[in-house]
Structure 1
Amino acid sequence: MTARAILLTGAAGVVGQALLAELTGRPVICLLRRGRLPAAGPEVVTGDISRPSFGLPPEVYESLTRRVGTVIHSAALTEWGRPAEDYEGVNIAGTRHVIDFARVAGASVHYISTAFVAALAGEAPVRLRPDNVTTNYVLSKRASELLLAESGVPHSVYRPTNLIGHSTTGWTSKPQIVQLVADWVGRGRAEVFPAHPGNLIDVVAQDLCAKAVAEAIRRDDVGRQFWLTYGKAAMTVDEAVELLIEHARSTGRRIRIPRIVHPADLDEAELNALPPSSRRFVQVLGDVSEVTAASGGILPSSMSELVEEYGLPEIGDKDAFRRSLLAAAN
């Protein structure tokens, strides 16, 4: 008997592309809102997770419910700084529609959330401000987690931290905030680098995230929550800045080391004197630092558990970060 298929939402995204490289042994059906995948291979169905029944004709939807036994839900609006209502349709209603589908199909759901939900626990002395650029996005991911928890549908939740490129090649289908900030620092445009004392810089290679999800599916392992982070083993802020300076020098640039300052100590006049793009980077870095501080400065981590239980490769975050920087520079 042929194994039931995996339905992958968000297949064209960074996590989706990484997942496609790791999913083997079972047919994969990609639900795309528009366009095509960069490479041929998996079956593609055009639909919209923000609409009931994914906006599909009844016969197509019914066919999918018969064929699919597992849903990987990675589709989401991930751009920060949008109004709360912008995240409602894709992130929250989309998860609700995935749950509806899974109930009919008798399928399990593997949900890609974010490690930033740790900032909502409220146990750290720093609280996430309502106007933090990430707040509405994080709240939407947490709301989706709660929908799954209350649904009764078998599921697991994966909470990756800031994504970087492939651990070996450094490649990514789309630069993320880490790569954008790295380029900004590496071009000597960073006068200051905002960070709360005690924060660690936690990044994870996209293929490591994908390997964890793929292995859980191979084992039919549900009912779990995985923090795809380095936790206490993550880089310090000083180490991350040193790596960025080292990379800049390797490309022939001689740049000044940015001053590391507490976000609350940023000088308004100095900020206003910066070019608009640099001012925006400083503000976003300050907000991301607040997320980590609100999470206790160090994110929870399941990395050692995944290495021991799932046999995930032990990939150093600094090495993976270096490779991402090199790939972005070429």
Structure 2
Amino acid sequence: MRCLLTGFPGFIGTRLVRALLEDDDVTVDALVEPRMLDRARAAAREFGGRVRVLEGDITVARLGLDEATYVDLAATVARVYHLAAVYDLAVSEALATRVNVEGTRHVLDLCRGSARLERLHYVSTCYVGGERTGVVLESELDEGQGFKNHYEATKFAAEALVRASMPRVPTTIYRPGIVVGDSRTGQTQRFDGPYFILWFIHRMNRFGLTVGAMGSEDATFNAVPVDFVVDAIAACSRDPETVGATLHLADRDPLTTAEFVRLLSRELTGRDPRGPAVPDPLMRAALRLRPVRRHLGGTPYESLVFLSHPVRYDTTEATRHLARNGLVCPPFAGYAPVMVDFFRRNLDDESLRAPV
């Protein structure tokens, strides 16, 4: 079975390729932008010729491929996995639109013209819910919501394109929460997302201070380990009952953001936060300064809003389908020690730091 995958050799993409190749009849064509070619070819060598690296560009019509390659894909590809996106919370509107929206449009063009396509597997995000509060259902998308950043807005627009194509393109949509490292090893590709909180705790602790009462008892922090996300997509690939489904790959019972910060503080420093938190306006102002962002591991000020956003992502459909495949999202408290230990052991690895 021939598969086309975007997002290789990214952290999720490389792991997903490994999981898909557990089926002996699967081969993967990885569409890779020019600047990632060397890294992709090195990663592909692990798979013994079952991964072919194609130089292309999702932001260009016909995926930037030569005519013969494009026609060959359209005639033979059975599954398409579209993972490639810009995930930066501080991304510009123009770049996010080009990659997340136009890139998805070009992938859909290929899917609609594919003679043997069985399914498109599209990786969206829980955060297409934008500024919505309360419970967000998997069946919902456009509820008139606003968005906290261009990443959310463009992923929403891209998912809207995917949904509009579903009468012609068999599709499963996956909406992960905030993806963190492996729940068994702690390994991650970059210290971003919740790792920004760890950076802040680490820096404060060096001065004998705590982060104070960060977070909210009303907001939740929905972290999911990368191995769960990969296992879920791989299992659903083999399960015809998931065609047409939209699945929140999220924690069914997430911690509040205050609990999340307390747990990370205990694991990293052995003590709970205490005292008042740094006022949010002051923290935002400080994080607009590049030296401060760098000192805190690249933390963007745009990330602060997630600590006070009261939203929950319903997982009814995901729970039903994944349970049939023997999968459940592990609770964060169960793998937090492994995640923090990996962070502690790799603090000095510059390759893991978020860009500033």
Please confirm whether the aligned pair reaches a TM-score higher than 0.5, indicating the same fold.
yes
Task: Name the structure 2 match of 1:283.
Answer: 301
Task: Name the structure 1 match of 2:348.
Answer: none
Kindly report which structure 2 residues correspond to 1:154-303, keeping only aligned pairs within 5 A, or say none: 154-188=170-204, 191=211, 194-220=214-240, 221-231=242-252, 233-249=253-269, 257=274, 259=276, 266=280, 268=282, 276-277=292-293, 281=299, 283-290=301-308, 292-293=309-310, 297-302=311-316
Q: CA deviation digits over 1:144-184, x for unaligned, max 9?
A: 11111112311111110111101111112233312232222
Deviation at 1:143, TM superposition (A): 0.7
Question: Structure 2 CA distance, aligned partners of 1:258 and 1:209?
Answer: 36
**Matched AA of 1:227:** H
- Are residues 155 and 121 of structure 1, via their aligned partners in 2, closer, same or farther at CA, if it must alter by over 3 Å? farther
Question: Structure 2 CA distance, aligned partners of 1:98 and 1:50?
Answer: 9
Contact persistence 1:68–1:105 (CA under 8 A): yes
Task: Name the structure 1 match of 2:161.
Answer: 147
- Are residues 58 and 289 of structure 1, via their aligned partners in 2, closer, same or farther at CA, if it must alter by over 3 Å? same
Contact persistence 1:71–1:102 (CA under 8 A): yes
Work out the percentage of aligned pairs sharing the same amino acid.
Answer: 24
Stretch deviating more after TM superposition (241-250 or 70-79): 241-250
- Are residues 205 and 259 of structure 1, via their aligned partners in 2, closer, same or farther at CA, if it must alter by over 3 Å? farther
Normalising by structure 2, what TM-score?
0.78
**Matched AA of 1:173:** Q
- Are residues 225 and 59 of structure 1, via their aligned partners in 2, closer, same or farther at CA, if it must alter by over 3 Å? same
Match of 1:114 among 104, 109, 125: 125
- Are residues 122 and 269 of structure 1, via their aligned partners in 2, closer, same or farther at CA, if it must alter by over 3 Å? closer
- Are residues 112 and 310 of structure 1, via their aligned partners in 2, closer, same or farther at CA, if it must alter by over 3 Å? same
Contact persistence 1:187–1:255 (CA under 8 A): no
3-state SS in 2 of match to 1:48: coil
Question: Structure 2 CA distance, aligned partners of 1:282 and 1:8?
Answer: 30
Deviation at 1:188, TM superposition (A): 1.9
Contact persistence 1:164–1:203 (CA under 8 A): yes
**Matched AA of 2:244:** G
Question: Structure 2 CA distance, aligned partners of 1:150 and 1:129?
Answer: 20
CA RMSD of aligned residues (A): 2.9
Question: Structure 1 CA distance, aligned partners of 2:5 and 2:321?
Answer: 22
Kindly report which structure 2 residues correspond to 1:305-320, keeping only aligned pairs within 5 A, or say none: 305-313=320-328, 315-320=330-335
**Matched AA of 2:332:** D
Task: Name the structure 1 match of 2:152.
Answer: 138
Contact persistence 1:194–1:282 (CA under 8 A): no
Unpaired runs of at least 5, structure 1: none
Number of positions where the alignment pairs a residue of Structure 1 with one of Structure 2? 311
Contact persistence 2:179–2:223 (CA under 8 A): yes
3-state SS in 1 of match to 2:204: coil
Question: Structure 2 CA distance, aligned partners of 1:76 and 1:269?
Answer: 28
Deviation at 1:137, TM superposition (A): 0.7
- Are residues 92 and 182 of structure 1, via their aligned partners in 2, closer, same or farther at CA, if it must alter by over 3 Å? same
Task: Name the structure 2 match of 1:27.
Answer: 27
3-state SS in 2 of match to 1:29: strand
3-state SS in 1 of match to 2:130: helix
Normalising by structure 1, what TM-score?
0.83
